[in-house]
Amino acid sequence: MNSIPLESPEGTSNLVSKRLVLWHFVAAMFFLLTAMGWGFLISLQFFNLYPFDDISWLSYGRVRLLHTNEIAYGFLVNGFLGCLYYAIPRLTGRTVLNEKLGYLIFLVWQVTMVLTSIGQLLGKGQAVEWGETPTGFRPGSFDLNFVPVDALIAVGALLVAFQFLTPIAKSLHKRMYVSLWYMSAGFVWLILTYLMGNILAEWTLPGSSGAATVGLFIHDLVGLFVTPMGWGLMYFFVPTILRRPIWSHALSVIGFWALAFFYPLNGVHHFLLSSIPMSVQYGAVISTIAVEIVVTTVVVNFFGTMWGHGYALRKSLPIRWFYTGMILYFVTCLQCAFQTTLTVQEIIHFTDWVPGHAHLVMLGVFSFWILGIMTWLWPRLTGREWYSRRLLGWHYWLSAIGVVIMFLDLLSAGLVHGFMAKALVPWRDIIMALKPFWGIRIFAGGMIITGQALFAWNLLQTARGSRAYDYRMDLLTPEAA
Amino acid sequence: MSPPLLRRTLSGTVLVATLIVIAAARIPSSAPTPPAKEAPPPTLTLADWPLESGAKLGKRIFQENCVGCHGDTGLGDGEAAADLNPRPRNLRKGYFKFRSTASSKLPTRADLLHVITCGLPGSSMPSFRLLPDAHRDALVSYVLTLAAFEKARLEAEILRDADGLTMPVIVKDHLPEIRKKVEAEMAEGAVPVTIGQRPPTTPESVEKGRARYAKECASCHGKTGVGDGPSSYALRDWEDAEIRPRDFTTGVFRAGSAPTDLFLRLKSGLNGTPMPAISGSDDDLWALVDFILTLRTQAPEASDHAGCPIGGTTR
Amino acid sequence: MDRLNNILLWAGLGCFALSFLLSGLYPYLITDGKTPEASIRELAEDVSSDFRLLKEAYPIDFARAFPEGVNALTDPELATIAADDPRRGQSEDAWKNAYARALRDGRDLYIAEACWHCHSQYVRPVGNEVERFGPVRTTAEDNNALQRPVLWGTRRVGPDLTHEGGKRSNDWHIAHLRNPRSTSPDSVMPAYTWYFRRGFQIRRGVSSETAEREGIPADQSYPYPGLYDTKAEAEVALEKLKSSLSSNLEEEAERMFVAEGSGPDGDALALVAYLQWLGTWSPKTAEASK
């Protein structure tokens, strides 16, 4: 195992295609803002506000698909790709396969996302949760009714794998650093997961076995793509910014393999107490609890790395984003271990608890990490000093407080809903009891969106600015001699 | 990326987000108001009618759950009414189909409670069995109040037209008296008819029922009980709305498919519809029940713990 | 790459494969894989009375949406033809074909509007759900083409729809789609106004005696089935209707008129047909109807 080379940003700049990183970040910000706009729109509908009452393509059901899909495939994937274009050449000492291919991937991916959005607004979404990208066919058949976006995404994912696996294979370093473990596995798993989730449940497996596969897909997408990419990037950026090696390489490898083994076995926990064979459900419950091992090793490792350097949280905004994300990650996963037990599941399944959990994972953890990385990289990419560092602080606090409010609010709403449902309270009364919570969610969502809008404005003004950026401003320790 | 392109992309993003927020704040436009009609002469209004505590609670529950179909004042003219056939009941008229009381009389509290609790399966009337007992009971009180109010309103109009009294005077001086009279009338009518012991079903009783059915029922309900008799498509209820005879083959009856339920429908008729109370001795009616039960081609529905047919509407 | 890396690559793929075998293939092999999946046409074998009533109440849009049902005869039509009329023979098949199309179209719309994001089709044996919604969902019930992709859902903003079929009237569903708050107060469901179209209806007013006797507003009227595109078409139909009325309804003919109105289009009918089907099929009922 080697440590990350500690060069200054200029040292490897000929390896990194800064423009690709920048483009992907801009696309990511675009989809982040639109996705959150959609989210805000649907949160209004929960409060009986229907601003676009008679417009079919802006109705709740269709917009809801956009909210999740633009975050998953628009923001997270673009964000990850941007970060990877920066991280992988520096981790391997090699350029990516081909820069032109990079632009092609960029184009394919944005076209895919636009087509996905149009398709879903027209009601062509697929009935696979987190995989609602249009298949292009009528459900369960081969009658073409739209552009087969799923196929485009598979092609895109394949190109991405070639693009990044080539430098990893040709790496200058003999032993792979743990980031590359996570990333290379993530590329391969993404393709497999995507094909499995989108093909099997649609065309081959009906009913309960289909549900088992869909559960597997939902979970693999988060567990075998988003999580590995996120942690891979953390293993790169945290030591880079802290200028300290990772606390334990052994723990990082244990964390990786525990993730590889336990995470995919969790799938069925999305449909507990269902008609899927009970043995499979028990297996999923046990392995979900086992995932705590992964979480604990990884979180301990990162806090070990940080040990004695807590001032970084105050001094460095990216580090603050990262560690906030890690704390929320620990909270989410601890939540997983509890909510997967059948006793808790009985109450919280089908309620707002679940969206609360999902917001914490997707926004509070992985989006925070990408935003932190953007905060770190943006001045390095544009060569301009921040337009306003105070706005960066606002961005952090609005997002962090917003997501915590939303999480606690939806958690409470979930409990209220679950217990009222069990108590056989009439449905109308449950809805009335939930409306105040849904009102608070609008407020929390508004906070989060405001934060991102400020960030977007800051990014824009920074890129337009004239002050040159001095990377030494963001160093936590004086330049090594 | 060149700064102008970057600028455009980012400002486009901000613009879209702003537009969404602005549009979201738009207040939904309300439906156009119908042109004002000529004002009718003043009459008794629900506001003049003091509610006792049960009906007061019932009014709240009614406002929360029932007005979409039955309308604000129980006239059966809620927003959904235009799409519903049969139309929602006008609760003010005091015509209730499913009763255990004599023809043209008001139902007992238990009758109303049963409909509210179980709904009318297959119709647009849902079950409200998940409402607390006290709330359903209060609803019954309020529904009866609406019927009583309507009777009183008619009495008040007579006073207004015949004696030339103004409404404030009627409300002040005569209302308690009218109310006492109306309530006494209603209580008198809402007495359940007696259901004797059901005689055993025999081939003779079925045969007797068959003969009676062919003579009096088949013209509407059809020879085989499908509800397709010669006059079945030309039936009208008290509001001139179209109404269909029941299909006896499905085994689903709106207000219960037990033999006693059928007996009651025969004995007391369905108020406000062409279905009359059937004359004759109890044995004649039981014979008819015996025959009708043989028309069933599908298994009867089981009942749940609340005594409602399983598969009834519940939320 | 060295040998170790190779082994580890296969180990990574192996983890993925293992999970798929255990939680994808294994449940399939011990449940759904044992019996053939029911096709949509097989599901449509038992045509519900609610579906027949849709044709009666909305004949024009029904004919447009489900052309297979052109020979399907409604109960009033059956009552007017002889017992040995050859049209009776074709009728049942036409119903089944129309029903199959309606179920498929309705399911597709259920997916298109993402109904499954707020309504589950999955009753669990806990949380008093059996008491609220009805019997627990079984594996066999889902082994059919309408549950591929599976529509269990993971969230209940609205109630579970497993046993929705036949619980309410078609009208209720139509009114509910037009404005959910008219039938379900305080619901947060959006109104599906784009499933309704404007046109011309034949309506019948209330007789002046009835209006007088019962205190009904004199302008109250009731629609006849059918929503015509143009006023002229509706007027032609009105004349035809008047001439075909039975003698005891002649007095009513004078109170008939043509007016503008709005009603559900074919998509709404397909969606209602699908909702009214939910929970009415299980392999057991399929056996019984054969």
Chain C interface test: which of B83, B128, B236 (most C C-beta within 10 Å): B83
Query: Is residue B215 domain-shared with residue B170, that is, in the same domain?
Result: no
d(CA B130, nearest CA chain A) in Å = 5
Q: Assess whether C277 and C237 both reside in one domain.
A: no
Instruction: Note whether residue C112 is domain-resident.
Output: yes
**Minimal Cα distance from B66: which residue of A?**
A428
- Copy the structure tokens of residue C18: 């293992």
What is the structure's pLDDT at A10?
46
Question: Which among C23, C142, C186 has the least Cβ separation from residue A428?
Answer: C186
Give the pLDDT confidence score for residue C285 in this predicted structure: 61
Give chain B positions within 8 Å (CB) of A54.
none
Residue B5 sits at the chain A interface (C-beta within 8 Å): no
What is the domain-level CATH number for residue C99? 1.10.760.10
Maximum Cα–Cα distance for chain C, whole Å?
Answer: 98
- CB distance from A34 to chain B under 8 Å? yes
CA distance B44 to chain C (A): 14
Does C19 fall in a domain? Answer: no
**Cβ contact (<8 Å) for A50 and B28?**
yes
B259 inside domain: yes
Closest by Cβ to B93, choosing from C132, C133, C214: C214
Mutation target among A274, A287, A352, A435 for the C interface, most CBs of C within 10 A = A274
Residue C103 lies in a domain: yes
Q: Quick one: B161 and B248 in the same domain?
A: no
Q: What is the ipTM of this complex?
A: 0.93
Detail the DSSP E strand segments found in chain C.
196-205, 221-223, 256-264
Residue C194 gets the label, from left (phi > 0), alpha (psi -120 to 50) or beta, of: alpha
Q: What is the pTM of this model?
A: 0.91
Mark yes or no for CB contact C78/B312 under 8 Å. no
B20 touches A: beta carbon within 8 Å:
yes
Query: Are B80 and B184 within one domain?
Result: yes
Give the structural domain span for C238. Answer: 194-265
Helix axes A427-464, B3-24, angle to 10 degrees: 160
Q: Is A439 on the interface with C (CB under 8 A)?
A: no
**Is there a single domain that holds both residue C227 and residue C119?**
no
Residues in chain A with CB shorter than 8 Å from the CB of C196 are none
Residue B21 lies in a domain: no
**Three-class HEC string of chain A:** CCCCCCCCHHHHCCCCCHHHHHHHHHHHHHHHHHHHHHHHHHHHHCCCCCCCCCCHHHCHHHHHHHHHHHHHHHHHHHHHHHHHHHHHHHHHCCCCCCHHHHHHHHHHHHHHHHHHHHHHHCCCCCCCCCCCCCCCECCCCCCECCCCHHHHHHHHHHHHHHHHHHHHHCCCCCCCCHHHHHHHHHHHHHHHHHHHHHHHHHHHCCHHHHHHHHHHHHHHHHHHHHHHHHHHHHHHHHHHHHCCCCCCHHHHHHHHHHHHHHHHHHHHHHHCCCCCCHHHHHHHHHHHHHHHHHHHHHHHHHHHHHCCCCHHHHHCHHHHHHHHHHHHHHHHHHHHHHHCCHHHHHHHCECCHHHHHHHHHHHHHHHHHHHHHHHHHHHHHHCECCCCHHHHHHHHHHHHHHHHHHHHHHHHHHHHHHHHHHCCCCHHHHHHHHHHHHHHHHHHHHHHHHHHHHHHHHHHHHHHCCCECCHHHHCCCCCCC
Domain count within chain C: 2
In B, minimum Cα distance to A27 occurs at: B9
Does residue C225 lie in a domain region? yes
C15 within some domain: no
Where does a domain end: B136, B167, B189? Answer: B189
Nearest CB among C171, C185, C249 relative to B124 is that of C171
C242 touches chain B (CB under 8 A): no
Whether residue C91 contacts residue C81, with contact meaning beta carbons closer than 8 Å, is answered with no
Same-domain pairing of C85 and C198: no
How far A16 CA sits from the closest chain B CA (Å)? 15
Residues of chain A with Cβ-Cβ distance to C136 below 8 Å are: 275
- Within 8 A of B238 by CB-CB distance, chain C residues are 210, 214
Q: Do A26 and B25 touch (CB under 8 A)?
A: no
Q: Say which residue the tokens 């609205």 belong to.
A: C158
Report the chain C residue with the minimal C-alpha distance to residue B65.
C185
Give domain status of residue C36, yes or no.
no
Contact B80 C175 (CB under 8 A): yes
Q: Is residue C11 part of a domain?
A: no
| C113 → closest Cβ in A59, A132, A140 | A59
CB contact under 8 A, A456 and B13: yes
Residues 6+ apart with CB under 8 A from A76: A28, A226, A362, A366, A367, A370
Q: CA of A376 to nearest chain C CA: how many angstroms apart? A: 32
**Bridge partners, residue B242, by sequence:** B236
Could you list the pLDDT tens digit for every one of the 481 residues in chain A?
344 444 444 455 678 899 999 999 999 999 999 999 999 999 999 999 999 888 999 999 999 999 999 999 999 999 999 999 999 999 999 999 999 999 999 999 999 999 999 999 999 999 999 999 999 999 989 999 999 999 999 999 999 999 999 999 888 887 889 999 999 999 999 999 999 999 998 999 888 999 999 999 999 999 999 999 999 999 999 999 998 999 999 999 999 999 999 999 999 999 999 999 999 999 999 999 999 878 999 999 999 999 999 999 999 999 999 999 999 999 999 999 999 999 999 999 999 999 999 999 999 999 999 999 999 999 999 999 999 999 999 999 999 999 999 999 999 999 999 999 999 999 999 999 999 999 999 999 999 999 999 999 999 999 999 999 988 888 877 654 3
CA distance B11 to chain C (A): 31
The alpha-carbon gap from C51 to the nearest alpha carbon of chain A, in Å, equals: 22
Structural domain including B185 reads 46-189
Task: Judge if C52 and C118 occupy the same domain.
Answer: yes
Amino acid (1-letter code) at residue C245: L
How far is Cα C144 from Cα C286, in angstroms, rounded to an integer? Answer: 12
Residues of chain B with pLDDT under 50: 1-2, 26-31, 311-315
Is residue C248 located within the same domain as residue C154?
Answer: no
Is residue C63 domain-shared with residue C182, that is, in the same domain? yes
Would strands C256-264 and C221-223 be described as parallel, antiparallel, or unpaired? unpaired
- Mean pLDDT of all residues belonging to chain A: 92
Which phi and psi angles does B236 have, rounded to 5°? -130, 145
Judge if C253 and C281 occupy the same domain.
Answer: no
Check CB contact of C181 with chain B, cutoff 8 Å.
Answer: yes
Q: For an interface test with B, give the residue of C214, C277, C280 to mutate (most B CBs within 10 A).
A: C214
Q: Do C149 and A431 touch (CB under 8 A)?
A: no
The answer to whether the Cβ–Cβ distance between B17 and A22 falls below 8 Å is no
Tokens matching residue A242: 């802290």
Task: Report pLDDT for A74.
Answer: 96
The residue with tokens 């409909």 is: B115
Cβ-nearest to B68 among C57, C159, C182 = C182
Nearest to C116 by CA among C145, C151, C143: C151
User: Is residue B301 included in any domain, yes or no?
Assistant: no
CA–CA dist B107, A442 (Å, integer): 48
Cβ-Cβ contacts under 8 Å, A51 against chain B: 23-26, 28
Q: For the segment A239-293, what is each residue's pLDDT rounded down to a tens digit?
A: 999 989 999 999 999 999 999 999 999 999 999 999 999 999 999 999 999 998 7
Please name the residues between 108 and 137 in chain C that touch chain A, using a CB distance below 8 Å.
108-109, 111-118, 120, 122, 124-129, 131-132, 136-137
Interface of B with C in 194-213 (CB under 8 A): none
Tell whether B260 is within 8 A of chain A (Cβ): no
Q: By the 8 A CB rule, do C146 and C103 touch?
A: yes
> CA-to-CA distance for A414 and A437, rounded, in angstroms?
10
Domain count, chain B: 2
> Does the CB of C4 have a partner CB in chain B at under 8 Å?
no
CATH code where residue B214 lies: 1.10.760.10
Pair of tokens at residue A177: 């650093």
- Chain C, nearest residue to B64 by Cα: C185
CA distance A316 to chain C (A): 35
Residues C157 and C202 occupy one common structural domain? no
Say yes or no: B58 and B173 in one domain: yes
Q: Are residues B66 and B149 in the same domain?
A: yes
In the complex, which subunits touch A with 3 or more CB pairs below 8 angstroms? B, C
Q: Which chains have 3+ CB pairs within 8 A of B?
A: A, C
Pairwise CB contact (< 8 Å): B312 & C167: yes
Q: Is there a single domain that holds both residue C87 and residue C158?
A: yes
Q: Is A428 on the interface with B (CB under 8 A)?
A: yes
Q: What is the pLDDT along chain C (290 residues), one digit of tens a residue?
A: 467 777 888 888 999 999 999 888 998 998 888 888 899 999 999 898 899 999 999 999 999 999 999 999 988 888 788 888 889 889 999 999 999 999 999 999 999 999 999 999 999 999 999 989 988 998 888 999 999 899 999 999 999 999 898 888 999 999 999 999 999 989 999 999 999 999 999 999 988 888 888 878 888 889 999 999 999 999 999 999 888 877 777 788 889 999 999 999 999 999 999 999 998 888 866 565 55
Residues of C in contact with A427 (CB under 8 A): 158-159, 184
C-alpha B237/C-alpha B97 separation (Å) is 11
pLDDT of residue A353: 96
Q: How far apart are CA A79 and CA A35, in angstroms?
A: 14
B contact test, residue of C73, C182, C188 with most B CBs within 10 A: C182
Whether residue C9 lies inside any domain: the answer is no
A427 touching C (Cβ < 8 Å): yes
**Residue C256 backbone dihedrals phi, psi, to 5 degrees:** -90, 145
